Amino acid sequence: MTWNWERPDWPHFKWDSARLTQAEEQFLLDAGVAIGTVKHLGDEEQTQLLVELMSAEAVTTSAIEGEVLNRASVQSSILRQLGLAPADKQRVKPAEQGIAEVMVDLYRSFSKPLSAEMLYGWHRMVTAERKDLTNVGKYRTSREAMQVISGRIGAPKIHFEAPPSKQVSAEMKRFVWWFNGTAPRGKEPLPAITRAGTAHLYFESIHPFEDGNGRIGRAIAEKALTQSFGQPALVSLATTILAHQKSYYRALENANRQNEITEWLVWFAEIALEAQHRSIRQVEFILTKAKLLDRLRGQINERQQKALLRMFREGPEGFEGGLSAGNYGKITGASPATTTRDLADLVEKDALIRTGERRHARYALKLTQS
């Protein structure tokens, strides 16, 4: 098997720009929509959006690697790092603290050029307190081949093999130079999606670290997309990749075998556009939340407000299967009779939509007003 980095044209990637033109134009158009919509949010809602997008990306980029994090702990860590919450005595797991730090640093340093020191810092964050690694905060040095494998121990399937460790430093120096040179203000700027997709594949092909390459590689792609906006922002890239995890790994594996990467970039473009639409939906959801709560101010009781806020915490998708009377009782502590009255009142006030009858009744937020 010959890998892309073993070919004579490495790392001179080629692609058919014409097949990406429409996606690039749509991405920039939607970016304008997203930025314009955010401006309609108040300061509190903008902060809420930022923290929710960051925490979602932190949790999902880890989930792609099979690591399950506590979203509340990650969100709490992000709030503290942004200076929006005091330090608490509850210890956050190193993995949760570390990926939260990456998200905050990615947001704060979006316009800064990429550097080896920045990558080393991200690696220290995502591998915080790992005792099983030889190289933390620096490129790998092991003489053993860096491979991505699956299957039985006796008969493994090799999905990818990275360049030997002795080549990594030179390869990464060239990668960093390429990334900064293709930035919007670089010597050879590339369109947003093309640059982000190529950067992610390029980095993953080198696989410079002993562990954490996937999370750092997706952070690099986020950085590339954000730099195209000219202002700090986050696109739900990892969240969307997780929803297409199998095709993600399949597309990467196929792209690792050659340096003509049109098919990879076409796949990545679809993911980037879907990720952007997810972010826009989140903005619109928070705007709807603010409008709904403002309209209901003084018209609902504390139980009803608590339940609505809990429902909004589930995001645009809401409770799986809808909110039941039993859920409402658990959230608010209300009796069955009080629950029935409260829910009927929220439906009457156009805050909730009811489907089903009696014990099968379910409630969802009414996000559009008639």
Alpha-carbon span 279 to 224, nearest angstrom: 16
The answer to whether 317 and 303 are in contact (CB under 8 A) is no
List the domain boundaries for the chain: 4-285, 300-365
Q: How confident is the model at residue 285 (pLDDT cuts 50, 70, 90)?
A: confident
**CB atoms inside a 10 Å sphere around CB 266:** 17
Position 282 scores a pLDDT of 84
pTM, 2 dp: 0.87
pLDDT one-digit tens code per residue, 185-244: 999 999 999 999 999 999 999 999 999 999 999 999 999 999 998 877 778 999 999 999
User: Which of 194, 209, 252, 232 minimizes the C-alpha distance to 116?
Assistant: 209
Backbone angles phi, psi at 260, to 5 degrees: -95, 110
Mean pLDDT of the chain: 91
The CATH fold of domain 4-285:
Fic-like fold (1.10.3290)
Give dist(CA 65, CA 58) in Å, integer: 12
The letter for the amino acid at 29 is L
At 49, the pLDDT band (50, 70, 90 cuts) reads confident
Contact between 256 and 249 under an 8 Å Cβ cutoff? The reply is: no
Give the pLDDT of residue 367: 81
DSSP 164-230: PHHHHHHHHHHHHHHHHHTSTTSSS---HHHHHHHHHHHHHHH--SSS-HHHHHHHHHHHHHHHHHT
Euclidean distance between CA atoms 236 and 277, whole angstroms = 8
Residue 321's pLDDT band, with cuts at 50, 70 and 90, is confident
- Note the pLDDT of residue 90: 62
What percentage of the chain has pLDDT greater than the value 90?
68
Residue 318, pLDDT > 80, answer no
Strand partners, 362: 355
Given a cut of 90, is residue 303 above it in pLDDT?
Answer: yes
Q: What percent of the chain has pLDDT over 70?
A: 98
In this structure, are residues 92 and 76 in contact, taking their beta carbons and an 8 Å threshold? yes
Please give the CATH number for the structural domain made up of 300-365: 1.10.10.10
The whole-angstrom separation of Cα 184 and Cα 226 is 11
Note the pLDDT tens digit of each residue in 52-94.
889 999 999 999 999 999 988 998 999 998 888 776 656 778 9
Q: Model confidence at 342, in pLDDT bands (50, 70, 90)? A: very high
